[in-house]
A and B are shown apart, each in its own frame.
Chain A
Amino acid sequence: MQFHLTPEQVSIQDAVRGTLADNWPMERLHQFADNDQDFDPQSWNALMELGLAGVLVPDSGMGLVEAALICEVAGEAAASGPLIAQLLTVGAVAASDNEDAKAFLEGLTAGTTVATLAIDSEFVQAASSAALFLARDEAGGLRLIEAGEGVTIEPVASTDRSRPVAKVSFGAVKSHVLFPAGHPMVDRIRDAALVLIAADALGGAQHCTDVSVGYAKERVQFDQPIGRFQGLKHQLAHMALDVEPARAFVWYAAYAWDAGLEDAPRAAAMAKAHLSEVYTRSTRAAIAAHGGIGYTWEYGLNYWFRRSVANRAWLGSPAEQRQRAAELAGW
């Protein structure tokens, strides 16, 4: 049995973390949040240059575990860009036998062709910058829609400022069927998306915990670092208790998907539900642990808060996921 990270997996996370530290510091996030762009080419390109967009290609030697590790770090940094969609689209196109779609594979894997997710929701990240939309067809299969004709994009005020959404609808579009309705990959891609959203939430919740613990060691009130007060210390311990054990849960959900285990769909739903709750709790607890400064825009916790709102609603709320999980368990 091997149920902890290998050195290779650790180095993937280190590489992504380092790249985002260099290319996505808080100043950039602040700038991005207030401009009208829905995509940041610089940090995206830097991330894509790591050559990791192909982790879900069937013969890459990697899989959803590695994808989850990457998305976790993106969540930590509140990275911009439709990373989850990109990884899924590369995986879906590579696994499909639609030759027209496969023509995009090289650009997708390099990250020069940007793909975004338009499944089960009209709200789509990076909609005006993506070249491809991973979407359903009328029958419920998976198709790849090309940007341009037939794609209507209506700007909205996005709650999540790190990955802004727009409202997208599809008319007479140019599209390529990847998997027809009923093909197992249709559900598997959705399940993988749930796991990656959970991974992003894990990273975000970890970030909120780290920032709060760090602040509690620095901030002095009553001549003491506030972390000395048992009330706050216990609250921070609870934050850690929420996040740290959830890490192996996300790994399991990703591993179950890779290994094609029978309970993979249920693990995905449970992970999405659980981590959405953890993320919501963590962002709220982090703001409380900071006091006034936590309630400001400038300090930046609000970006993670906003991202937690988006992750929670995306592809079904925790209550909906738990409902599915109960059904899948046959309760």
Chain B
Amino acid sequence: MDLSYGEDAERFRGEVRSFLKEAWQPGGARGAELAELIRAFRRRATDQGYLYRAIPRQYGGSQQPVDVVRAQVIREEFSKARAPMEVGGNGMSMLVPTLLERGTDEQKDLFLRKTIEGDYVWGQGYSEPGSGSDLASVRTRAELSPDGSKWIINGQKIWTSQGGYATHMFMLVRTEPDAPKHDGITYLLLDLNQPGVTRRPIRQMTGEGGRNTFYEFFFDNAETPVSLQVGERGKGWYVSRTTLKHERATIGSADGLGRQFSKLVELAQEMGRSKDPIVRDRLAQIEGAVMAHRYTSFRLFSCNAAGEDPGPVQLMMKLLLTETGHEIALLAQELIGEAGLTEPAGAGSGQTNMARGPNKWLDQIMGSLGNSIAGGASNIQRNIIGERGLGLPRDLALSAEK
């Protein structure tokens, strides 16, 4: 065992560091000025080979050979320098990898550059009112236009994160109503700015409404060219599996959990409770899970670098993360005490970066509930661990499912 990244990686770290020192100097820039600075910085960092490494140059990426160690060094150094990484969101984490693997040249040409530059924002159009955990039961219909050139879409999608900002959607629709349920789905890309699409925000329990919440979308003869179908007709379920794997990997990021835990310790100190034996005991208990999560992510990273299969543990990362999130929420609730009787400034406005007191933890206390549902509810994670991980037989009621 050796946790060092090796000499080559350390030399590379030096290069990244000196690049960042020179290239990332935001000063006091704000608003549009800052946005432009970030854009220009991302372009330079990409030219340097630090960002969008998996994406070919012709689509705006840096087209680097796969090197998870270097990728990790980049993440660490960028995060230390608080420099902007790649754009976030479902487009980058889910659609881009799918297009890289399954997209046509035309699709890559149309969407990759605009997505990584942040011009296109993607909604994940999977869930429907009747289809959540049972995603393969989607009912939103798509039918070919008489001339066979377009898909005509009718139905409804729901809980779409970023729905207020989304310019496009990648979606699962039913195209072969008579086929077995997993084999009747097609994966489509759709421009949301058209008359056949109506969107509506759904207010979340946090109070958040407007653009900072999830949305529902109604499709009334919405259209998309057949050329924007990803993968074969009727094979959309299998196309979507590539992306879901990806989503789990992003949600399972260890750095975020570690940072959240450090903040929890700071909260205990700020509230004068860090010497309280009860609080110390609970903090240390939570840190046990945080450390297990962190070192498992190292293990996954190492297996990944060596091209080895880490086994069932990779199926556990989302649940471990979100369950630890609940423990953090419960302790935070104890620590903030009466501060929890009031909502933090900006609650419901999405302005989470303003100066706020201990009650800002209400965001995490409630948000941890959403994290356990989004991207596959906890029971579905448990089923996955039990069935795919441990090889237990499927529930009788589900035995027809894939």
> What residues on B are CB-neighbors of A226 within 8 Å?
133
B132, A292: Cβ atoms closer than 8 Å: yes
Give the residue of B133, B333, B344, B395 whose beta carbon is less than 8 angstroms from that of A291: B133
Shortest CB-to-CB span from A202 to chain B, Å, is: 19
* List of B residues within 8 angstroms of A220 by Cβ: 130
Neighbouring B residues of A295 by C-beta, 8 Å: 204-205, 369-370, 373
A318 at the interface (CB under 8 A from B): yes
Contacts of B88 in A (CB 8 A): none
How far apart are the CA atoms of A314 and B158 in the complex, in Å?
37
Task: Check: B159 CB closer than 8 A to any chain A CB.
Answer: yes
B377 to chain A: closest residue by CB = A291
A284 at the interface (CB under 8 A from B): yes
Asked if B334 lies at the interface with its beta carbon under 8 angstroms from chain A, I say yes
**Given that A291-B132, A317-B337 are contacting pairs, would A302 and B205 also be in contact in the complex, using a CB cutoff of 8 Å?**
yes
Q: Interface stretch among B32-40, B310-318, B378-386?
A: B378-386
- Tell me whether B362 is interfacial, beta carbon within 8 Å: yes
B112: Cβ under 8 A from any A Cβ:
no
Number of A residues, CB within 8 Å of B: 42
- Distance to closest chain B CB from A217 (angstroms): 15
Give chain B interface residues in 344-384, CB to chain A under 8 Å. Answer: 344-345, 347, 359, 362, 365-366, 369-370, 372-373, 377-379, 382-383
Check: B342 CB closer than 8 A to any chain A CB: yes
A85 to chain B, nearest CB (A): 15
CB <8 Å contact, A297 and B203: yes
CB neighbours of B297 from chain A (8 A)? none
Cβ A288 vs Cβ B204 within 8 A = no
Q: Is the CB of A232 within 8 A of B379?
A: yes
Is there a chain B Cβ closer than 8 Å to A158's Cβ? yes
Interface centre among B341, B365, B382 (most CB of A within 10 A): B341
Q: Which residues of B contact A301 (CB under 8 A)?
A: 205
Residue of B nearest to A305 (CB): B205
For the complex, give the distance between the alpha carbons of A62 and B207 in Å: 40
**Would you call A156 an interface residue if the criterion is a C-beta within 8 Å of the partner chain's C-beta atoms?**
yes
Cα–Cα distance between A229 and B362 once the two chains are bound (Å): 32
Given A288-B369, A295-B369, check contact A222 B337 (CB 8 Å): no
A212 at the binding interface (Cβ < 8 Å)? no
Query: Which residue, of B134, B345, B362, has the highest number of chain A Cβ atoms within 10 A?
Result: B134
User: How far is A318 from B278 in the complex, measured between Cα atoms in Å?
Assistant: 12
B3 sits at the interface (CB 8 A): no
CB-based contact A292/B342 at 8 Å: no
B264 to chain A, nearest CB (A): 16
The answer to whether B373 and A309 have CB atoms under 8 Å apart is no
Verify B369–A221 contact, CB threshold 8 A.
no
Which residues 117-167 in A have Cβ within 8 Å of B in the complex? 121, 123, 156-160, 165
B342:A165 contact, CB within 8 angstroms: yes
Of the residues B214, B330, B362, B378, contact of A288 by C-beta under 8 Å: B378
| Chain A residues, CB < 8 A from B278 | 319
A231 touches which of B330, B365, B382 (Cβ 8 Å): B382
B341 partner, pick from A302, A310, A318, beta carbons under 8 A: A310
CB of A230 within 8 A of chain B?
yes
A222 contacts B398, C-beta separation under 8 Å: yes
> Which residues of B sit under 8 angstroms from A230, Cβ to Cβ?
395
Q: Which residue of B is nearest A230, CB measured?
A: B395
A152 to chain B, nearest CB (A): 16
Q: Is A224 an interface residue (CB 8 A)?
A: yes
A284 to B133, CA, bound (A): 19
**Would you call A221 and B132 a contact (CB within 8 A)?**
yes
A158 and B334 contact, CB distance less than 8 A:
no
Whether A231 and B362, one on each chain, are in contact in the complex, defined by CB atoms closer than 8 angstroms, is no
Which residues of B, 236-256, contact A by the 8 Å Cβ criterion? none
- Please state if B369 and A287 are interface contacts (CB–CB under 8 Å): yes
A288-B373, A294-B373, A295-B369 known; A123+B338 contact, CB < 8 A = yes
Chain B residue, CB-CB nearest to A303? B205
CB neighbours (8 Å) of B134 from chain A are 221-223
Give chain A residues whose Cβ lies under 8 Å from the Cβ of B365. 309
Report the minimum CB–CB distance from B274 to chain A (whole Å). 14
Q: Do the beta carbons of B373 and A291 come within 8 Å of each other? A: yes
- Which residue on B lies nearest to A122, using beta carbons? B338
* Contact in complex: A159, B343 (CB < 8 Å): yes
Nearest B-chain residue to A315, judged by Cβ: B338
Question: A228 near B: Cβ within 8 Å?
Answer: yes
Interface centre among B278, B345, B398 (most CB of A within 10 A): B398
CA distance in complex: A123, B131 (Å): 43
A297 B341 Cβ-Cβ under 8 A: no
Chain B residues, Cβ within 8 Å of A291: 132-133, 373, 377
Q: Which 5 A-B pairs have the closest CB atoms?
A: A302-B205, A297-B203, A221-B134, A157-B343, A156-B342
Known: A157-B343, A294-B373. 5 other contacts (CB 8 A): A157-B342, A222-B398, A229-B397, A291-B133, A291-B377
- Which residues does A use to contact B, with CB under 8 Å? 121, 123, 156-160, 165, 220-224, 226, 228-232, 235, 280, 284, 287-288, 291-292, 294-298, 301-302, 305, 309-310, 312-314, 317-319
Chain B residues packing against A (C-beta within 8 Å): 127, 130-134, 137, 158-159, 202-207, 209, 214, 278, 326, 330, 333-334, 337-338, 340-345, 347, 359, 362, 365-366, 369-370, 372-373, 377-379, 382-383, 395, 397-398, 401
